[in-house]
Structure 1
């Protein structure tokens, strides 16, 4: 019988999320003829007793499991050789800080399947925490606005028991007639919109956002066509933009002139135009005062995102004149930045349940079945022979330190 193990998260700072809640783990055990073991942990949002109470075994070691499920990167000394590991490895973009992790995975002949690379035949991800990043990121943006201007005081998202508890905080939000711009159109953006609409903030079109004044707070959702344009003046085509972004230039500044709060949710390709430059920020007509950078691309498309922030210290100030980070809320000439890079961790119970549902619906049947659609195959970075799979051979130079 196949044994599936839920690993204790070992990355620091700690992550309280789980790939499967107790009831979801029980469901898999009962419906897929597998054994599910749970490594004892004092950091999970669900306790050991929560898993015991549904009939699951709590163990100190999961070394005899065939498949190991986790969320964040597994510390190198906790990797179990010759097993199948599932976690977010943060290696497919050649992230330098995880080079040794991937080297160890190969040397230990681990079959690595990365959650981020699990896609359907159309290339769309089948499992993700994106919605929860958007929800917490947008909430943090509103929290930051209230704090910067001393207008209202919300509980932190991570102080809320769950999403239902967080929604109770909406009643405290009392915004002036500000304008909020969201970039992107995927899961993250939809999660952010969920919060803004839930807080009673009306959505307007990009055209009205630019051209009209409003007596109440509003937001607009911007797709890539709204803030990028062809250099030769020809019509924007989305597929071409993603295939050949070098043919385009940024066109966000017209929005920056009327935006008070920017919530950045859009995936950014380094080959694509940046949203704006530092020189743009110091212009008199650049009105953005708060940036919630959910994407958290360090010194990427948004120059004020100089570093990630943390759940404990979620905001910092960016001084555009000197291009430096300063203590938060210290000068009205600064931009206040929220760039927490693990936002779903602030609502771990809800985020875990949503993730686990997608795992059961979209991954487990293929993992424990024939994988006829190639969902597991496409997401497998390394095999149990200590080799990169063909799709990920481009990482060899990265592993070699080139």
Structure 2
């Protein structure tokens, strides 16, 4: 069997991301598990694991990776860095026709690149295989509590990015002293579960959505909200999750009652652009709208949450939103009338060691056997472009690529 050369590429999207698809030990493990595979690590001064750590594990470190056929990244590859005729794996953020990555997909097709999107790697039941969702949820919830504490000068905790790892973050939990506020968390997947790890770890009590809406508490509480809790079928009738996910356009928003009792909102649910938004800017101007801090883990720009006007960054995690003018106020915590928004779009990069290790484990166990050997369909399902054209499942992106939908 001929040798397969795989490169761990340097993350060069700005702002910098410190994650990697395989840790040094995992890269060495790959070469043992797949003897016909050689892993090359592209030199990086940003990555959370140093070049020396890869060298120590017997992994070659190089600047030039053009002799590798498969290139593993994390975030989108800057267009000037794309190499013709290669196989790339990274999160492309194109499958929802994101306008800011239209040119990226256009160039991938033009350069005859085979693009395999991590987000589309699923098993035969349709469940995602690799994701950073758990750590997005952990860091997102922690940052939400950081934001709320800063806004009301309640406590001071280190940022997750300033902690060595998750265990170090947990040493900050005891400093978080909240009044009897209500925290709404949307979602039922990895992101929401990660967020609940933090809320439960701090000792915040979970209550039912009904209790959350109807009762008062003398301690901080949170409610996990599912799509059935905040969407309503148009014209009435029974609600089925299957129908909602297949035809979200047939539903209307039912989140407004929660906005009247929520102090901190943590958004952790996937949002389909066909689905109802959670609330509108006009709703934020109405009497009784109580939310003053939002941790938008989903970070859908101009999506289900009107205050998420742009991503925030790890260096500047929070901005204020003025619903009166529908504008971002760069200086956070500047007015009681503003909503403070945390919308970092690469949250797991604040805990890059833990996030990379978890990601690499799943990559080795589930994905690489299909990538380097016989594919059971997983790789094909995740291949967006190949041989200069979109693949069958992604032909719906044709207008997006051509620019017709602009």
Question: Structure 1 residue 185 and structure 2 residue 188: aligned?
Answer: yes
Q: For the Cα contact (< 8 Å) 2:17–2:46, is it kept in 1?
A: yes
Partners of 1:66 and 1:366 in 2: CA distance: 16
1:124 corresponds in structure 2 to: 127
Q: How many residues align?
A: 400
Partners of 1:103 and 1:270 in 2: CA distance: 22
Partners of 1:109 and 1:118 in 2: CA distance: 21
Tell me the alpha carbon deviations over residues 73-125 of structure 1, each in whole angstroms, 9 at most, x when there is no partner: 11222222222111111222222222222222222211111111111112211
The change in CA–CA distance for 1:378 and 1:319 in structure 2 (over 3 A counts) is same
Partners of 2:326 and 2:106 in 1: CA distance: 36
Q: Which of 36, 49, 52 is residue 52 of structure 2 equivalent to?
A: 49
TM-score, normalization by structure 1: 0.97
Q: For the Cα contact (< 8 Å) 2:122–2:381, is it kept in 1?
A: yes
Partners of 1:224 and 1:16 in 2: CA distance: 33
Q: Which of 357, 373, 378 is residue 361 of structure 2 equivalent to?
A: 357
2:399 corresponds in structure 1 to: 397
How far residue 137 of structure 1 moved from its aligned partner, in angstroms, is 0.5
Partners of 1:342 and 1:348 in 2: CA distance: 10
Partners of 1:287 and 1:100 in 2: CA distance: 40
Q: Secondary structure at the match of 2:6?
A: strand
Q: Secondary structure at the match of 1:36?
A: strand
1:149 corresponds in structure 2 to: 152
Q: For the Cα contact (< 8 Å) 2:11–2:75, is it kept in 1?
A: yes
Q: Secondary structure at the match of 2:312?
A: coil
Partners of 2:101 and 2:63 in 1: CA distance: 26
Q: Secondary structure at the match of 1:271?
A: coil
* Structure 1: runs of 5+ lacking an equivalent: none
Q: Which of 282, 307, 310 is residue 310 of structure 2 equivalent to?
A: 307
Q: Which of 84, 89, 101 is residue 98 of structure 1 equivalent to?
A: 101
TM-score, normalization by structure 2: 0.96
How far residue 60 of structure 1 moved from its aligned partner, in angstroms, is 1.5
Q: Which of 374, 384, 392 is residue 370 of structure 1 equivalent to?
A: 374
How far residue 348 of structure 1 moved from its aligned partner, in angstroms, is 0.8
Partners of 2:254 and 2:295 in 1: CA distance: 19
Question: Structure 1 residue 203 and structure 2 residue 206: aligned?
Answer: yes
Question: Structure 1 residue 342 and structure 2 residue 311: aligned?
Answer: no
How far residue 17 of structure 1 moved from its aligned partner, in angstroms, is 0.4
Partners of 1:195 and 1:395 in 2: CA distance: 37
Partners of 1:87 and 1:142 in 2: CA distance: 30
Partners of 2:325 and 2:74 in 1: CA distance: 38
CA RMSD of aligned residues (A): 1.1
Question: Structure 1 residue 133 and structure 2 residue 129: aligned?
Answer: no
Identify which range, 85-94 or 184-193, moves more after superposition. Answer: 85-94
Tell me the alpha carbon deviations over residues 321-362 of structure 1, each in whole angstroms, 9 at most, x when there is no partner: 222222211111111111111111111111111110110111
Q: Which of 4, 7, 11 is residue 6 of structure 2 equivalent to?
A: 4
Partners of 2:397 and 2:326 in 1: CA distance: 33
How far residue 247 of structure 1 moved from its aligned partner, in angstroms, is 2.3
How far residue 39 of structure 1 moved from its aligned partner, in angstroms, is 0.9
Tell me the alpha carbon deviations over residues 280-324 of structure 1, each in whole angstroms, 9 at most, x when there is no partner: 112221111111111111121111111111111111111122222
How far residue 178 of structure 1 moved from its aligned partner, in angstroms, is 0.6
* Structure 2: runs of 5+ lacking an equivalent: none
Q: Secondary structure at the match of 2:89?
A: strand
